[in-house]
Amino acid sequence: MLLGVAGMVGTGKSTLTYALATRFGLQLAPESIDSDNPWLSLFYGTPGGMRAHALHLQLHFLATRFEAMRQMRGKGGSWILDRTWYEDAEIFARGLFEDGLMQPVEFDLYQRLYSELLHSPAARPPRLLLYLHGPLDTIISRIEQRGRVAEKETDHRYWAALHDRYAKWIAAFRHCPVMTLDVREYDLVEDPGVVDEIAARVRRRLEPRIPQTELWPAVRVETQSA
């Protein structure tokens, strides 16, 4: 069984993912940045790099993501995933195309490959997607209070565009059932005990698929994201 947790920066994805992994004894696939990615420095650090290497960067992310998913399927058991491959392709890669950093012919090639990968056993949809959302001002406030330095220094226009893309994406999302969580209704940092309420909602949606033994130590596997 696979659960997915989705939402933009500042919604508390990672905190909730780890809390539910521990609560239900699920193996944990956290979001991470691939330190061996040769395209990151070219994309961010060379003149014209964003336009020249957008496709290369996103193909590397896609290949690494599906490699991790294949490994998870091979290990078996129940997992919870911090960010999904759907977001990689349908929000971040599409965003580069919409911003003019990926040419139409490049994005068409990316989409063809992504569509084929969706039919692979590794891409079997999650049983449930937990989608974290909230007003833009709430999310920006949390980023400024708790985010990484680079996130705090990011132009608010980027967060506004990302917020809009997430809203459009989830409105059209049909890959699996979705349970939405408004981040204004709970705060796992200030009140960790609220995970019990969220876990109860997840259990009601997924009985009897959630493991019956809870509070096992979470097991981690590294994944890749944009």
DSSP 39-77: HHHHHHHSTTHHHHHHHHHHHHHHHHHHHHHHHHHHH-S
- Is residue 199 exposed (0-12), middle (13-18) or buried (19+ Cβ within 10 Å)? middle
Catalytic, out of 36, 82, 164, 187? 82
Residue type, 148: R
Q: Which two tokens stand for residue 50?
A: 């964003």
What are the Cα distances from residue 185, in Å, to 5, 135, 162?
17, 12, 22
82 as an active site residue: the answer is: yes
Question: Is residue 128 within 8 Å of 78, Cβ to Cβ?
Answer: no
Residues 6+ apart with CB under 8 A from 113: 59, 62
Cβ neighbors of 6 (< 8 A, separation 6 or more) are 13, 83, 84, 86, 87, 129, 130, 131, 132, 170
- State the residue for tokens 């491959």: 85
Report how far residue 98's alpha carbon sits from residue 90's, in angstroms, rounded to the nearest whole number.
11
Cα–Cα distance between 173 and 90 in angstroms, integer? Answer: 10
The catalytic residues are 82
